[in-house]
Amino acid sequence: MDRKRSITDDVNIDVEPNSKKGKCKTKSAQKRTTVSVSLNKCYTDESNVTTFESSYQGSEAYDEGPLQLCHEPFTHCVLPNYIEDEEFLEKLQEELLDLTFAEKNNDLYKFHQSREDLKAVQSPHISALRNLIYVKFKEWLETVTHIPLNDKVDMSCAKYEFTDTLLCHDDELEGRRIAFIYYLVPPSWSEEDGGALDLFTVNENGQPADVVQSIIPVRNNFLFFEVTPVSFHQVAEILSEDKTRLSISGWFHGPSIKRPAPYEEPHPSMVQAIQIEEDVFYDWINPTYMDMLSQADIMERFEEESQIELQNFLQNSKYEQLKDALQKCDSWTPRGPANKRCYSTLDMEDPPEIVKECRRLFQSDAMFLVLSNLTGLKLHELAPESDTDDSDEETTPKGTKGEPCFCNQVRRWKHGSYTLVHDNEIEGDREFALDVLLYIGCEGWEPDQGGITSYIALGADEELLSVSPSENSLALVYRGQDTLHFVKHLNARSRQLPNKQFYDICCTYYE
């Protein structure tokens, strides 16, 4: 079953212990002023409400007048000019920017969120907006949507700046029925600034397929949509280097709806080792890593850390040929779905000969043996027995180990590529896996561009270790079923790479 990824409690930060409950540390909060605000009159006009309700219930699009209602790819609605009082908006924005913000950064998102809980903040204009949303607007929503809502409403403030993003997810969490976003972006915000709300269609498996609508943030627009099993969306990366996408967002809660069982992807096909010519193998591998003493030293370090990076792993002539072939190749296939991954893999039906040879290298019987010698794992029948093998054989349930095998992909990474955490990463009932990553063509890469492979413990965001792209570097990581990994989103800074992209050969070996 996939790990559920959405903006949940870890994004709604508690009030800091040093601050008094119900009061944020802002200048506005000290004024103790009572302020009121009303919804734009065009939305509360009785005849308009009746028309909105009829269109909503009839699943009919509506774009006459101010309100914009659409039911594809899922039901969503935009209310422009949500509040008519421009002075109120200016003071509201001042109070929001006067809050303290903390960075939120994991596989799914990168942005800043207010430390203060907006349900407790007593600044006058924030309080007035909260009261409007919690009471009058909630009643309006119930009238138009016919969705019974309870008194629970989540509300937080977020700042998205250059390279910030929120990747594809569906917002599903127990009780969430309607999601909303209220935009307070600069009036000059445009499509070129990024930050659009992208809406996805779904495929036959109920997984996100294509972005078919992108809603550009507009100041004083209020957007809402129903949270359903198909409400996949994302906040596109911020491309402006000098504008801030300021917004208030949250969820209205109500009775939970029935959801289908999560879709489980099939595991990639596993293959066993093959024989290749000994001369071919030695033509590829840096002789340093074939030396017995070097292998023993690497094994000792690997057994202590469960990971190691081997620089200049391939012989330079072969590496340059491989890199040149990948850079010239145009047979790449996009891989999704977007709630799990976004990158391209090389079409292996007719790859360049040098790429085909390299893949055979990693599948070779000799490579299985070398990796055994480098890691101490039993990937080959000639590999030495570890001290624990005998006892493990008696206690390990039947079926948790089979013949040594592996799977691999040749992947291309560029601006917008990423993978997200999900649970079913280890094949079947195998307990452990050895990840092997060979990086190609990543000269000029910098950490702030994204593309780092991060390993975390199941159920936690704290990083256990990370692997950074490095030219002709082979990374080895041994992980169990409770260790997950993801590749951090490659942001707009990655366009500074000399070739605007890089590659890896990603292999997973099983004992």
One domain, residues 314 and 351 = yes
Last residue of a domain, one of 198, 220, 253: 253
**Residue-number span of the structural domain to which 65 is assigned:** 41-253
> Is 437 a member of any domain?
yes
Mark whether 436 and 320 lie in a shared domain.
yes
Q: Do you find a cis peptide bond into 384, omega within 30 degrees of 0?
A: no
Nearest to 75, CA basis, from 223, 253, 259:
223
* CATH number for position 190: 2.60.120.620
Q: Are residues 108 and 212 in the same domain?
A: yes
Residue 202 and residue 59 in one domain: yes
Same domain, 240 and 313: no
Q: Are 238 and 340 contained in the same domain? A: no
Q: Looking at the 3D structure of the chain, how many domains does it have?
A: 2
Report pLDDT for 34: 84
| Residue 264 located in a structural domain | no
- pLDDT at position 375: 97
Q: What are phi and psi of 354, to 5 degrees?
A: -65, -35
Taking a C-beta distance cutoff of 8 angstroms, is the pair 461, 467 a contact? no
Residue pair 283/357 in contact (Cβ under 8 Å)? The answer is no
Between the two ends of the chain, the Cα-to-Cα distance in Å is: 23
Tell me how far apart the alpha carbons of residues 95 and 89 are, in angstroms, rounded to a whole number. 10
To which H or E segment does residue 434 belong? strand 432-440
Task: Looking at the structure, tell me whether residues 363 and 300 fall in a common domain.
Answer: yes
Residue 337 resides in a domain: yes
The answer to whether position 485 is within a domain reads yes
Q: Give the residue from 190, 219, 253 where a domain finishes.
A: 253
Q: CA-CA distance, 400 to 432, in Å (whole number)?
A: 9
pLDDT of residue 20: 37
Count Cα atoms within 13 angstroms, Cβ side, for 299: 20
For residues 173 and 47, state if they share a domain: yes
Peptide bond into 337 cis (omega under 30): yes
Is residue 121 one of the residues assigned to a domain? Answer: yes
Q: Which tokens in the block code for residue 274? A: 């093959």
Q: Is residue 206 part of a domain?
A: yes
Does residue 11 sit within a domain?
A: no
Residue where one domain finishes, among candidates 223, 253, 283: 253
Residue 36 forms part of a structural domain: no
pTM of the shown model: 0.89
The secondary structure of 133-185 as a DSSP string is IIIIIHHHHHHHH-----S-EEEEEEEE-TT-EEEEE----TTEEEEEEEE--
pLDDT of residue 317: 98
pLDDT at 316: 98
Shared domain check, 329 and 221:
no
Question: How many Å apart are CA 376 and CA 370, to the nearest integer?
Answer: 10
What is the per-residue DSSP string for 229-245? TT--EEEPPB--SS--E
243 and 291 inside one domain: no
* Same domain, yes or no: 235 and 280: no
* Structure tokens that stand for 90 in this block: 């200016």
281 and 241 both lie in a single domain: no
**pLDDT per residue rounded down to tens, the chain (511 residues):** 344 444 433 333 333 333 333 444 444 444 457 899 999 999 999 999 999 999 999 999 998 778 999 999 999 999 999 999 999 999 999 999 999 999 999 999 999 999 998 999 999 999 999 999 999 999 999 999 999 999 999 999 999 999 999 999 999 888 999 999 999 999 999 999 999 999 999 999 999 999 999 999 999 999 999 999 999 999 999 999 999 999 999 999 999 998 899 898 888 889 999 999 999 999 999 999 999 999 999 999 999 999 999 999 999 999 999 999 999 999 999 999 999 999 999 998 889 999 999 999 999 999 999 999 999 999 999 887 765 554 444 444 333 457 899 999 999 999 999 999 986 666 666 789 999 999 999 999 999 999 999 999 988 878 999 999 999 999 999 999 899 999 999 999 999 999 999 999 999 999 9
pLDDT at 425: 64
